[in-house]
Amino acid sequence: MITKLINLKSVCFLLIFLLLNCKNQTDQSVIKVQSSVKTSTDSTITYKEPFRNQFHFSPEKHWMNDPNGMVFYKGIYHLFYQYYPDDIVWGPMHWGHATSKDLVHWENKKTALFPDKLGYIFSGSAVIDKENFSGLGTKENPPMVAIFTYHNMEFEKAKKINTQTQALAYSLDEGETWTKYKSNPIINNLDKKDFRDPKCFWNESTKEWNLVLVAGDRAQIYTSKNLLNWKLESEFGQNIGEHGGVWECPDLFKLKINNEEKWVLLISVNPGAPNGGSGTQYFVGDFDGKTFTTNQKDTKWLDYGADNYAGVTFSNLPEDERILVGWMSNWSYGQKTPTKNWRSSMTLPRQLSLNKINDQYILQSTPVNSFEKLLKKDYSKAVLDIKSNKKLQFDYPSLNESQINFQTKAENLKLVFYNDVKDSLVLNYIKNKNEFSVDRTHSGIINFGENFATKVHTTVLKNLISDQIKYQIILDRSSIEIFLNDGLYSFTEQIFPNKPYNHLKIISEEDLKLKDFKVSAVNSIWNKN
């Protein structure tokens, strides 16, 4: 009798164990995806180091910040940038230089502009003077003209206010070598502390050159016939927009929407961004060649993540193209990120467009089409079913160099990217709040800057009027870029996991169908796999 009771007890325990085990299995399904791309890190090989982004531009070595002088000429995209060639923190500014034929693969070039007795070389822009209005070249060989800010350190040490002036340099060999204009500066500064970052463009409507720069907490607009002599026409921004910090890196350009044309003014501000530190706001309005006006009341942001700053667009592109690149960092912690030989990357180049929702103009951004050539699709399913309160897990070794696409109803959905040492990055949409958040507070190394991971970055999607959300998520080794509904909202964040993320957990409180679900590895632009 005792033996029968013992056997019965054993059977009961076995049944309970099996039931619990079955329950655990039904709570979470696992899909294992093999990668078509080999990934590895090696601290001794340039562009293979830990945290080195594999398909975003970064300098071979040393410090980089704002993109400058972006211009397209003879099939080549030129990217100049703020560069300090002697350290991985900010220092005496130069212009670094890189070129691309497709906005995806980049070739490092020699340093373009160096500091001199007039000062450091701060941010600016470049144009092609096709008609040789400046007289610095010929019509047969038009000059590439860079207009930039000098920052005079001797004036700063003497506690003078007017440390910054605007200057010009030109190249007659397509950006390879540069000559500084003998009569620099071309725009003097009498009494402004922050007077910088000129963005120049040809205005076909007025047949003049325009230039917009920032002076303190507002923008100034200038005109010129020859790129050398400039007239101040107007100011913008005294009582509009975010004024939590200094205005920087303006851009002014035209975009078409349906049967109308509008002008967009970009203004970066530091601090004052919605999720802390530096960010880029924009205004949509009208421009008559001298004055920019807008009916916009609220502040609009180019990106709702923490790490897209100082973005400007390429000049000399076809009229229907407007492509932006931003500095993928934040001045709150940008000089402290845990990289050794270099510091910071640029965002993926993004195509800009205008949308109109509830009588408001919205600036959208999506990765340029040429990015698609880097993708290798490793998993796809027409409909991926997520059951309520169940977890679907993907095990994927290339997750930290991947793109994930899908579309679903605007219902509660959580995506957790994590690794085997319990670092995690969480994306979360909450329907009843219409709120999207990025939580990097446990994403890996976070202790290098007090403002890097102190809070969850949350945004109310007030322009989301569809009952569907289309997700495009792009992870590189130390970054994530998220585009919702074709860039109606974008979020750019740096991340520094102790080991690459290799698991993705998808969690929903409701039954949910993820349509056109795709996982793709992204090839490195720097090294052959």
The catalytic site residues sit at 66
Which letter does DSSP use for residue 347 in this model? P
120-128 and 144-151 strand pairing = antiparallel
Q: Which of 206, 216, 136, 139 is nearest to 171 (CA)?
A: 136
Separation of alpha carbons 246 and 249, rounded Å: 10
Separation of alpha carbons 459 and 427, rounded Å: 12
Separation of alpha carbons 134 and 136, rounded Å: 5
Answer whether 337's CB lies under 8 Å from 344's CB: yes
Separation of alpha carbons 33 and 48, rounded Å: 23
Q: Where are the alpha helices (DSSP H) in 280-386?
A: none
Q: Report the Cα–Cα distance between both ends of the chain, in Å, rounded.
A: 68
SS3 153: helix
Other C-beta atoms within 10 Å of 326: how many? Answer: 27
Burial class (CB in 10 A: 0-12, 13-18, 19+), 469: buried
Cα–Cα separations (whole angstroms), residue 440 to 214, 300, 496, 528 = 33, 24, 9, 31
Other C-beta atoms within 10 Å of 385: how many? Answer: 12
Q: Residue 470: what are its φ and ψ, rounded to 5°?
A: -100, 120
Write the CB contacts of 268 (distance below 8 Å, at least 6 apart in sequence): 247, 248, 249, 250, 278, 279, 280, 281, 309, 310, 311
SS3 508: strand
195-203 and 292-293 strand pairing = unpaired
260-270 and 279-287 strand pairing = antiparallel
User: Cis (ω within 30 of 0) for the bond into 274?
Assistant: no
Torsion of CA 310, 314, 318, 320, to 10 degrees: -10
| Secondary structure element (H or E) that encloses residue 386, with its range | strand 375-386
Separation of alpha carbons 286 and 288, rounded Å: 7
Residue 31 identity (one-letter amino acid): I
Question: What would the DSSP string read from start to end of 179-230?
Answer: EE-TT--SB--SS-SSEEEEEEEEETTTTEEEEEEEETTEEEEEEESSSSS-
Separation of alpha carbons 368 and 70, rounded Å: 15
Separation of alpha carbons 381 and 365, rounded Å: 26
Separation of alpha carbons 289 and 299, rounded Å: 24
